[in-house]
A and B are shown apart, each in its own frame.
Chain A
């Protein structure tokens, strides 16, 4: 049975495809801001801190029988909390930012490991979140993914021009009367949500790959952030679906295959240069023409 036939017949694969497309929207949008703002390590810290939240939620769910406490709630709480701490340090104690990023990164992982060791039974769920298993997505997860996707898309559509100036020139944002601190926290909050969406498809360890590689490839083909976002979403969908098909054919883990596929295309894209030097009119030439008119 080939991949397309399997998709038609297998509801698990159908849900996995929907999850991949949903995650592609989030990572394409958020990843583009991560890449242009140069906050990749910050995003890595947020994504790894999620393990602590997941472990904590699983621990309380199993030990205290809190069945309503889904691991994803713990992940969301941990990522938003990390984003708030990092945002505070970035804005008010920037000289210590690197150290705090490293601290949150390791504390999150350490917390996850300790909670996992104290949780009875084999933590398959935690392993799925860590390494990614898109085939394990439930319909409730899809509803949550769709809602989080909507939040990200709506906020970015409404505040795009503000995020653009925040990423390009923070001083100008202040001069224009924008509340830079609030805007920065909002951006980090969106990254936190995006990370939670992505851990379903590729897992904590590979989140950075999907967040960073597609926008980094897209950046080579356009010099407009809005187009870079659209291209990143398309690339994310291609990598997710292509990786999923490959993983089905090769019987490899889906998350790892998706990431390797994206990384291979990224390496190939390094040969390309931005179009600005070939496809746009030279401003100098334009000025000379204006002068001669």
Chain B
């Protein structure tokens, strides 16, 4: 379960999130949406501990996996797809030396789930933007998380990849928070929708459809 109370965060004096409170039950699939600059990415980074809140509390399970919005590694970095996915196993692998057989099996299974097992020995830099995002999702899955946070992780993927990934995630038992602008998909696959705009407001399907009709998210409907 995730419990956020009175969470506030300001960036260089400019408030990004003010007194945010919300609760997510175990196993829920939540969509976070809202306008650019509304604080979605900041909220994600606060949840995973990459940012420290100015005030408020966050209670959530230990095993958190995070797929960032814009991951732009050095294009020349010498690393294979499998090595990237294995990074998700670091907290479970032995402190010293290499990875165990189990870690490799888990990493390969995660790659299979995103449909990239045949690319395991490829160079990560040689993949397309969408494929890289799928590898990062596999890395998150390999860590066997209690909570998975996806920050526009599917932005570079094609439609069929997004659908198959959402179907796969829908059947998972862990809690998922997914930042998305694709309200159509969110309505279809997610249990609840939260609007992030300086604060976090739960929205019913009806309210979301109103937003949709008012052209706020016309890009999605196109």
The interface of chain A, by Cβ under 8 A from chain B, is 36, 38, 157-162, 164-165, 167-169, 171-178, 219, 222-225, 227-228, 274, 276-277, 280-281, 283-284, 286-287, 289-290
Contact = CB atoms under 8 A, between A and B. Distances in A.
A162 B86 CA distance: 11
B201 interface: no
B91 A280 contact: no
Contacts of A223: 78-80, 123, 125-126
Main secondary structure on A side of the interface with B: helix
A173 B73 CA distance: 14
Contact of B122 (A157, A172, A276): A276
Contacts of A284: 128, 131
Contact of A177 (B76, B84, B91, B139): B91
Contacts of A276: 122-123, 125-126
A14 B64 CA distance: 55
- What are the 6 closest A-B residue pairs judged by CB atoms, nearest first? A283-B119, A286-B118, A223-B123, A276-B123, A176-B90, A158-B96
Interface of B: 48-50, 64-66, 68, 71, 73-74, 76-81, 83-84, 86-88, 90-91, 93, 96-99, 115-116, 118-119, 121-123, 125-128, 131, 139, 143
B87 A168 contact: yes
Contacts of A159: 96
Contact of A161 (B73, B76, B99): B99
Contacts of A161: 86-87, 90, 93, 98-99
Given A36-B78, A219-B76, A165 B115 contact: no
Given A38-B74, A219-B78, A287 B118 contact: yes
